[in-house]
Amino acid sequence: MLVRGGQRWRVGNERNINVWKDPWLRSEENSFISCPIINGLEHLKVEDLLSLDGIAWNWQGINELFNERDQTEIRKIMPSLQENGDKLI
C-alpha cells in the first residue's frame, strides 16, 4: 500500500511510473496528475510521454492529454538521459 503523504516518484528511466495513478509531479500540494483518466490510456507510463528518441517530452501529445496545470508541472521535470530506474522518495 502506498502512503500518499509526501511520497512521490523520482523520475529515472520512466518505465515504472503510471501517469494517472502514481505521484510523480514535483508539486508539493499535489504530485498526481489532476486530469481524469482517459479511457484506453489507463496503463499509460511516463515513458510514453517522451519523444520517439526518448530524450525530450512529446509536447504535442502532452498538450493534447493534460490541462495547463499538469503541463506546467511536467515542464519542471527533465527527462533522464541515463538508465537509472525510477525511485519512490
> Which residues on neighbouring strands pair with residue 9, listed in sequence order?
88
Q: Which amino acid is at 31?
A: S
SS3 content of the chain, % helix, strand, coil (to 5): 20, 10, 70
pLDDT of residue 58: 96
| pTM listed for this prediction | 0.76
Confidence at residue 28, expressed as pLDDT on a 0 to 100 scale: 84
Domain ranges of the chain: 1-81
* Nearest Cα to Cα of residue 72 among 23, 33, 38: 33
The dihedral region occupied by 79, where left means phi > 0, alpha psi between -120 and 50, and beta the remainder, is beta
Q: What would the pLDDT profile of 4-27 be if each residue is shown by its tens digit?
A: 456 655 565 456 789 999 999 988
Whose grid coordinates read 519523444? 51
Distance between CA atoms of 75 and 53, rounded to whole angstroms?
18
- Give the per-residue pLDDT at 3: 44
Q: What are the 10-residue block averages of pLDDT along the chain, 89 residues in total?
A: 52 74 90 96 94 90 97 90 58
